[in-house]
Every structure is written in C-alpha cells, then in structure tokens.
Structure 1
Amino acid sequence: MLGDLNKGALIDFLEQQVIGRLGCHANGETYVVPVNYVYKDNAIYSHSGNGKKIDMMRINPQVCFEVDEIVDTFRWKSAILSGHFIELFGEERQQAMQGIIHRIMPLTNRPSEEPSHGINPAKHEDIVVYKIMLTAATGKYESHEQGKY
C-alpha cells in the first residue's frame, strides 16, 4: 500500500532520523549533500565547516531537504521538505549545537575515536551552525505489512 504520512507521522519520522540530504542551488548549480540533523519546532538544525554548501546557502537561502528510511523496495518512508537557511549565532547557536551533540553522539560506539565530519574540534569557532525553517513538508510511505508505517 502506498500512502501519505499525516502530520503526526511525519513529525515522528523526522524526529527519529538523524541523516538527511540537503539540496541547495546557487549560481546555476545544484548541490545535494548528506548531513546529520536534529528536527525540532518546525526546523531542521545542523552544522558544517565552511565550504560549498554554506557558500551556496548564503547566496540563496531557499533549500530542499530529504529524509528517507528504506527497508527494501516495497517498505520505505520518505519526506521532502522546503525551507530557508538561517545561520545561528550566540545563545541560539550554542543551544542548537548542544542538541545536535546530544542526539548524534549516543549513536556511536566510540565517540572519542569517530571522525568529526571534517571539522577540527580545536577550531570550534569555525563550525557553522544553522537551521532550516520549514515552509512546506510532505511525506510518503509504502508498506505491504499490516500495521507497518
């Protein structure tokens, strides 16, 4: 059965996942990249070192975000979100980064040995923390098991 995720199921899905794909477009180029994220209060929160996606979002803050969970060809969920990039500073930046750390770090077996996504922890000030304020969201699923999704 194919179906739409209702608002509650869509929010639950976004809160359960931690990896999504960010799509940005600037200067005639489209760029899609996977990112770790946290969903809270109609926004996607994430972080990055300076680079291509941050440069592109600063030029054009309108972005697309995709999240999926694929069990197999006939059992999956997917969400497509639209919103705008907002770079965070001060207390909001600090709170967002703490939320990301608290959500992501328990998912690793060896947090002190894991890579830092290309970010040098000694240069914490170089980390760009941002949110994507959502303006639209849809979700779909397919399942052929009773009660699944």
Structure 2
Amino acid sequence: MRRKDREITDKSSIEDFISKHQIIRIGLIDNGEVYIVPVNYGYTCSNGAYTFYFHGAKAGRKYELAKSNPSVGFEIDGEYKLIISETACDCSAQYQSVIGNGILSIVNNEEECAKGLNYLMLQLTGKKNYEFSKAMLSSVAVFKLEVKTLSCKAKF
C-alpha cells in the first residue's frame, strides 16, 4: 500500500467495516479480461481468516469462471463523502475500503450451503438460523471465497 498513513490495521475496525456493508465486488479473469460482479455477501472470520459467501445461478459466466479460474480479487467500499473545494484539484473525498484476493469455490454439500446462506441472510437482515429445504439448496449455487490477503484503507 502506497499510503501507509491511510492503512487500517486494527482488526476490530476492519471487522466493523465489513459487518455493516452488503456489497462485495468480485473480480474474475475471463480469457485475459477482468470480469467484475457486485454481489450481496455474508462472511465469517475465524482467527483473522475471512471467508465470504454469496449465491447465484448454477449457470452463467460467474459460475463457469468460479469452476475454471478460482483465483479472484475482491473489494468492499463505503463511507464515501465528496469534499468540495473552490478549485478542482483541491477537491477530495472521505472513504474506507477493503481489498484483497483469494480462492473462489462452489460449495457442494448441503450443510455448508445452508451455513453460507445463513451468513448471507445474517448480513442482510440481522437474523440468523434460517431453514432451507433440499429443493431450495439444490436450486442455487453457493460460492465460497477464502481470503488469502486483505488490506483496509481509509481517509476521514
């Protein structure tokens, strides 16, 4: 990170930021081109290791790329506020973001699918312990992103 003065290293500050947002952008590689897709997410963090879960169709570009090229980048941003100045070059912004990379996989067992969907629902609704029928679980793809590196940056 170029601007070390903006780096956030406090684990609880990072956790707080991730816990209050809902959209993660996943960057996948498709024949040498970057494909970025925003998705709702849920997550878990164990001993500082983050795992993000999201869902989608069992077909399509995201699904096929997850199977063929699992190395991905990701980004979450928020707290954006434009700071206007009299001159264009003096305008600035407040923000916070998390970026990183990891390995994306498609969850294949029902128990972990339900667990991943519950993390997603907790993030979106604040409620947990949803029940999912076998039909529900078989109709959706649950994606698991195991984070290898993660950094957080802010300007307030």
Which interval holds the TM-score relative to the shorter structure?
0.7 to 0.9
Cα contact 2:27–2:74 (8 A) shared by 1? yes
Name the count of aligned residue pairs.
129
The letter for the 2-side match of 1:18 is Q
Identical positions, percent: 26
Counterpart for residue 54 of structure 2: 46
Q: Unmatched 5+ residue regions in structure 2?
A: 83-92, 128-134
The letter for the 1-side match of 2:55 is H
Deviation sequence 1:53-77 (CA, Å, 0-9, x none): 1111211000011000043132110
Greater CA radius of gyration, 1 or 2?
A: 2
Give 1:23's match in structure 2, choosing from 23, 27, 30: 27
State the Cα distance separating 1:106 from its structure 2 match.
Answer: 5.4
Q: Provide TM-score, normalisation by structure 1.
A: 0.77
Q: Unmatched 5+ residue regions in structure 1?
A: 108-121, 144-149
Counterpart for residue 58 of structure 1: 67
Whole-Å separation in 2 of the counterparts to 1:23 and 1:96 = 20
Counterpart for residue 98 of structure 1: 118
Cα contact 1:21–1:34 (8 A) shared by 2? yes
After superposing the two structures, state which structure 1 stretch, 7-16 or 127-136, moved more: 7-16
Which of structure 1's runs of 4+ aligned residues deviate more than 4 A?
A: none
Q: Provide TM-score, normalisation by structure 2.
A: 0.74
Structure 1 position 81 matched with structure 2 position 100:
yes
